[in-house]
Amino acid sequence: MARLILRRVALGILTLFLISLVVFAAVLALPGDAATAILGKEATPERLAALREQLNLNDSVITQYLDWIGGVLTGSFGESAATQQPVSELLSDRVANTGFLVFVAAVIAIPLSIGIGVWTAMRRDRPVDHVVSTTTLVLAALPEFVIGIGLILLFATSVFTWLPAVSLLAPDERAWSEPSVVVLPAATLVLAVTPYISRIMRGSMIEVLESEYVTMARLKGLPERTVIWRHAVPNAIVPAIQVTALQLAWMAGGVVVVEFVFSYPGIGSLFIDAVDNRDMPVVQTITMFAAAIYVVLNLLADLATIAVTPRLRTEAR
């Protein structure tokens, strides 16, 4: 088992290295270079030369990459080209808000979608199953900003006016001190990921319910609740682990759009501002983090799958 885990970790590190090359290469694609991007087209040649010297742009591409990746690994991500603030400072102001939003969404979405999956699997082909399956088919199709704006139209403007349409927070205020601003953004994320997890859970639960050992457990006369929750769900949940990891990683991109819809002061809206200003240090740092989250979550999902699958646990030994 240790060899299998080690192999997965090594592959993860290799993937992260290749990702960092792609992210770094984005600066090379800048028309002109980073110095002209910061100072603009009207900058004098002297100032450009000075800034190039300061940013080490005269070094070889390899040296520049090593400088950059060294900074990323030690937590110094450079300075924002737009505000001259350290990128780490900009991020630390916002990361708690985004973390809270994603946490709330995940804590609601995961049990909810697994519950829906189990519930509809047990009522297979009955009217409720069809209603839920049509609903998830529609929700899965809708882009997240369409869901978000739909929720604003319903709950913040015309029909009901219960919740704020815009998540306004004072700069030193955190999202959890004003919970009403989190409700609609979190609901958007929940509605966006629930269809996928619940559909996979339903499918794998149906398969397990038809298996011989579930029939066996029923024949032994175990109460139905024990059959479902002790025997069927723990096995049916394995495919859902991978999908849940994918959905959580998707949220790293999803929050960008959702935070913009609600003007929620998190990493996502910081990212949009940075793309707007072509502030490459900020864009690169956030991109690197989003991709790393995917690699780490996938690794964790693989490990969790190994841990809950006895066959893999022994085979890999």
Residues that bind other proteins (CB under 8 A): 11, 14-15, 18-19, 22-23, 26-27, 29-31, 137-138, 140-146, 149-150, 152-153, 157-158, 165, 192, 196, 199-200, 203, 239, 243, 246-247, 249-250, 252-254, 256-257, 260, 271-272, 274-276, 278-280, 283-284, 286-287, 290-292, 294-295
- Please, which residues bridge with residue 79 across strands? 86
Which residue type is seen at 72? V
Q: Measuring CA to CA, how many Å separate 159 from each of 128, 149, 183, 184, 224?
A: 27, 13, 17, 15, 43
The smaller minimum CB distance to other proteins, of residues 227 and 266, is found at 266
Do the Cβ atoms of 65 and 24 come closer than 8 Å? yes
DSSP single-letter state for residue 200: H
- Please, which residues bridge with residue 86 across strands? 79
Q: Minimum Å distance from CB 203 to other proteins?
A: 8
Q: Minimum Å distance from CB 136 to other proteins?
A: 10
Distance CA 92, CA 83 (A): 15
The smaller minimum CB distance to other proteins, of residues 2 and 159, is found at 159
Distance CA 127, CA 221 (A): 28
The smaller minimum CB distance to other proteins, of residues 232 and 288, is found at 288
Q: Minimum Å distance from CB 222 to other proteins?
A: 29
Q: Minimum Å distance from CB 223 to other proteins?
A: 31
The smaller minimum CB distance to other proteins, of residues 183 and 243, is found at 243
Q: Minimum Å distance from CB 172 to other proteins?
A: 25
Q: Minimum Å distance from CB 283 to other proteins?
A: 5
Q: Measuring CA to CA, how many Å separate 230 from each of 223, 281, 305?
A: 10, 50, 18
Q: Which residues contact 60 (CB under 8 A, 6 or more apart)?
A: none
The smaller minimum CB distance to other proteins, of residues 19 and 122, is found at 19
Task: Give one DSSP letter per residue of 24-58, joined into a string.
Answer: HHHHHTSSS-HHHHHH-TT--HHHHHHHHHHTTTT
The smaller minimum CB distance to other proteins, of residues 71 and 253, is found at 253
CA-based angle 215:221:222, to the nearest 5?
Answer: 85
The smaller minimum CB distance to other proteins, of residues 232 and 268, is found at 268
Q: Minimum Å distance from CB 288 to other proteins?
A: 10
- Please, which residues bridge with residue 132 across strands? none
Q: In which residue are the tokens 């240090």 written?
A: 281
Q: Measuring CA to CA, how many Å separate 76 from each of 21, 80, 81?
A: 18, 12, 14
Q: Minimum Å distance from CB 60 to other proteins?
A: 20
Q: Minimum Å distance from CB 219 to other proteins?
A: 29
The smaller minimum CB distance to other proteins, of residues 175 and 291, is found at 291
The smaller minimum CB distance to other proteins, of residues 12 and 86, is found at 12
Do the Cβ atoms of 181 and 264 come closer than 8 Å? yes
Half-sphere exposure of residue 268: CA atoms within 13 angstroms, side-chain side: 23
